[in-house]
Amino acid sequence: MRLISLKATNMELTDAISAYVESKLEAIEKLTQDFEPVAEIAIEIGKTSNHHAKGPFFYAEMTLHIPGEVLRATQLAEDLYESIDLVKDEMRRQVKDYKDILSDKNQKIERPDKE
Protein backbone atom coordinates (compact mmCIF):
# COMPACT_ATOMS: atom_id res chain seq x y z
CA MET A 1 0.00 0.00 0.00
CA ARG A 2 1.28 3.43 -0.89
CA LEU A 3 0.57 6.56 1.16
CA ILE A 4 -0.10 9.30 -1.40
CA SER A 5 -0.84 12.12 1.05
CA LEU A 6 -0.99 12.90 4.75
CA LYS A 7 -2.56 16.29 5.37
CA ALA A 8 -3.43 18.27 8.51
CA THR A 9 -6.18 20.89 8.54
CA ASN A 10 -6.40 23.71 11.12
CA MET A 11 -3.47 22.23 13.05
CA GLU A 12 0.24 21.44 12.73
CA LEU A 13 1.29 17.99 11.53
CA THR A 14 4.02 16.90 13.94
CA ASP A 15 6.42 14.01 13.61
CA ALA A 16 4.68 12.19 16.48
CA ILE A 17 1.29 12.40 14.76
CA SER A 18 2.77 11.25 11.46
CA ALA A 19 4.45 8.29 13.13
CA TYR A 20 1.21 7.36 14.92
CA VAL A 21 -0.79 7.45 11.69
CA GLU A 22 1.79 5.35 9.86
CA SER A 23 1.81 2.77 12.67
CA LYS A 24 -1.98 2.45 12.41
CA LEU A 25 -1.74 1.92 8.64
CA GLU A 26 0.03 -1.41 9.15
CA ALA A 27 -3.28 -3.11 9.97
CA ILE A 28 -4.83 -1.90 6.72
CA GLU A 29 -1.69 -2.64 4.74
CA LYS A 30 -1.87 -6.33 5.69
CA LEU A 31 -5.38 -6.54 4.24
CA THR A 32 -4.51 -4.79 0.97
CA GLN A 33 -1.46 -6.87 0.03
CA ASP A 34 -3.51 -8.98 -2.43
CA PHE A 35 -4.55 -6.04 -4.60
CA GLU A 36 -2.63 -5.41 -7.81
CA PRO A 37 -1.86 -2.68 -8.81
CA VAL A 38 -0.88 -1.36 -5.43
CA ALA A 39 -3.57 0.23 -3.27
CA GLU A 40 -3.17 3.96 -2.55
CA ILE A 41 -4.38 5.79 0.53
CA ALA A 42 -4.86 9.49 1.31
CA ILE A 43 -5.29 10.63 4.90
CA GLU A 44 -6.51 13.92 6.31
CA ILE A 45 -6.57 14.76 10.00
CA GLY A 46 -7.42 17.96 11.79
CA LYS A 47 -9.90 20.09 13.63
CA THR A 48 -13.26 21.05 12.22
CA SER A 49 -12.66 24.63 13.36
CA ASN A 50 -10.31 26.64 15.55
CA HIS A 51 -12.92 28.14 17.86
CA HIS A 52 -14.34 25.02 19.57
CA ALA A 53 -13.17 24.16 23.07
CA LYS A 54 -15.30 21.08 23.81
CA GLY A 55 -16.96 18.29 21.92
CA PRO A 56 -15.93 15.99 19.10
CA PHE A 57 -14.10 18.46 16.86
CA PHE A 58 -11.05 16.38 15.90
CA TYR A 59 -11.53 14.36 12.74
CA ALA A 60 -9.68 11.79 10.70
CA GLU A 61 -10.52 10.79 7.16
CA MET A 62 -9.09 8.00 4.99
CA THR A 63 -9.66 7.47 1.28
CA LEU A 64 -8.40 4.15 -0.07
CA HIS A 65 -8.10 3.58 -3.81
CA ILE A 66 -8.11 -0.12 -4.65
CA PRO A 67 -8.75 -1.68 -8.06
CA GLY A 68 -12.43 -1.36 -8.86
CA GLU A 69 -13.40 0.58 -5.74
CA VAL A 70 -12.77 3.70 -3.65
CA LEU A 71 -13.37 3.24 0.08
CA ARG A 72 -13.77 6.22 2.39
CA ALA A 73 -14.09 6.52 6.16
CA THR A 74 -14.50 9.61 8.33
CA GLN A 75 -14.70 9.80 12.12
CA LEU A 76 -15.11 12.61 14.67
CA ALA A 77 -13.86 12.38 18.26
CA GLU A 78 -12.85 14.52 21.23
CA ASP A 79 -9.23 13.38 20.92
CA LEU A 80 -7.12 13.33 17.75
CA TYR A 81 -5.61 9.93 18.47
CA GLU A 82 -9.04 8.48 19.21
CA SER A 83 -10.35 9.72 15.86
CA ILE A 84 -7.36 8.11 14.11
CA ASP A 85 -8.07 4.80 15.87
CA LEU A 86 -11.76 4.94 14.99
CA VAL A 87 -11.17 5.73 11.32
CA LYS A 88 -8.59 2.93 11.10
CA ASP A 89 -11.13 0.45 12.50
CA GLU A 90 -13.82 1.66 10.09
CA MET A 91 -11.51 1.43 7.06
CA ARG A 92 -10.38 -2.03 8.12
CA ARG A 93 -14.00 -3.16 8.33
CA GLN A 94 -14.75 -1.76 4.87
CA VAL A 95 -11.74 -3.52 3.32
CA LYS A 96 -12.76 -6.83 4.92
CA ASP A 97 -16.32 -6.43 3.65
CA TYR A 98 -15.08 -5.65 0.14
CA LYS A 99 -12.80 -8.68 0.15
CA ASP A 100 -15.74 -10.85 1.29
CA ILE A 101 -17.82 -9.56 -1.62
CA LEU A 102 -15.01 -10.35 -4.04
CA SER A 103 -14.60 -13.87 -2.69
CA ASP A 104 -18.37 -14.48 -2.92
CA LYS A 105 -18.36 -13.44 -6.58
CA ASN A 106 -15.53 -15.85 -7.33
CA GLN A 107 -17.30 -18.86 -5.83
CA LYS A 108 -19.34 -20.92 -8.22
CA ILE A 109 -22.69 -21.92 -6.80
CA GLU A 110 -23.97 -25.24 -8.08
CA ARG A 111 -27.66 -25.95 -7.95
CA PRO A 112 -28.57 -29.50 -6.92
CA ASP A 113 -31.06 -30.06 -9.75
CA LYS A 114 -28.71 -28.86 -12.51
CA GLU A 115 -25.55 -30.48 -13.77
Identify the CATH number of the domain in which residue 89 sits.
3.30.160.100
Does residue 114 lie within any of the structural domains?
no
C-alpha count within 13 angstroms, C-beta hemisphere, residue 23: 8
Q: Whole-angstrom Cα distance, residue 109 to residue 92? A: 28
Q: What is the pLDDT of residue 54?
A: 72
| Distant-in-sequence, close-in-space partners of 60: CB < 8 Å, separation ≥ 6 | 43, 44, 45, 74, 75, 77, 80, 83, 84, 86, 87
Predicted TM-score (pTM) of the model is 0.83
* Residue 66 confidence (pLDDT) above 80: yes
Q: Decide: 64 and 39 in contact? Cβ < 8 Å.
A: yes
3-state secondary structure of 71: strand
Domain range for 59: 2-106
Provide the domain count of the chain.
Answer: 1
pLDDT in tens, 79-101: 999 999 999 999 999 999 998 88
